[in-house]
Structure 1
């Protein structure tokens, strides 16, 4: 007598009873991993040109040339006063402060914590970020209180023929 429980109704190679018998073992675990590693490698290689462009741009920021921009005349800014202006772009807010007869400083006017505007407090001799009570030294641009940890980017200035000009941006260096 034949044992019907042990009878195999199909060929042993067709263990899933798939209609596409010839293609059922095309993508096993090893094939899947090869495909996955190949796709990751292709992605990495395709992103290299963008990474090199970004690195070249970041490396050249300190050497970047900006067109000089006239901010104000010496007579228009009294000692202790500040002037708002835009530099290096039209939408980049900046702040010029006259600390003494001969000393001027200028910083980009966005807190390094969350980019809130920074205001000059003449009576306190510091710049204040009202969003999270951040404070920056007017002489150095470095944070003295609050959550900001990086100094404000400093704008390089030049005084010539009775006018104050913005000439460049000194980036933060760790």
Structure 2
């Protein structure tokens, strides 16, 4: 009697021989922790490998190993722009705003006119002979594109120009050395 009153801790309270008797019942649990982790690691591997080509292209572009081709675009006729005036145009793409300035009789400069601080538009001030960003009072030298005042630290990207048959053409964007 004493033996029957003692509780036997070495046996399961169920007739089955383990505690996970319902795991495979009606395919209730098809994916266990180990299977889930294998799937997770496999998906991460596929994602990592699929991003390699894009990373290689970005590295090639950032290191300057690829020679980027730009379209040639007629900006304006030389006769239609006076010394001290500026012309806005889109280059290299239709949504990339740029500015051509005629600084002298045979001196032309063109820059992308998005401020290098926070991409605000940059305007030509004929009276002050400088390019001005009104957002944070940034000022750029029109002959070099370098910032002379305000928060901008980098020069404006210069657009390469050529004169041909009485017109000014954009031919590329100058790559700055770091």
TM-score tier by shorter-chain length is: 0.7 to 0.9
Structure 2 residue aligned with 1:154: 158
State the 1:18 CA deviation.
Answer: 3.7
Q: CA deviation at 1:35?
A: 4.2
Give the TM-score, by structure 1 length: 0.78
The DSSP-based 3-state class of the residue aligned with 1:99 is strand
Aligned counterparts of 2:84 and 2:17: Cα–Cα separation in 1: 89
Distance 1:62 1:44 in 2: 27
1:4 matched to 2:29 = no
DSSP-derived class of the 1:84 partner:
strand
> Unmatched 5+ residue regions in structure 1?
none
TM-score by length of 2: 0.76
Q: How far does residue 138 in structure 1 lie from its aligned partner after superposition?
A: 1.0
- CA–CA separation in structure 1 for the residues paired with 2:175 and 2:66: 8
Which structure has the larger Rg over C-alpha atoms? 2
Q: Could you list the runs of 5+ residues in structure 2 that have no partner in the other structure?
A: none
- Residues 39-118 of structure 1: pairs in structure 2 closer than 5 A: 39-55=43-59, 59=64, 62-67=67-72, 69-118=73-122
RMSD, matched Cα:
3.1
Deviates more, 1:94-103 or 1:44-53: 44-53
Matched, 1:138 2:155: no
Question: Per the alignment, in what secondary structure is the counterpart of residue 159 of structure 1?
Answer: strand
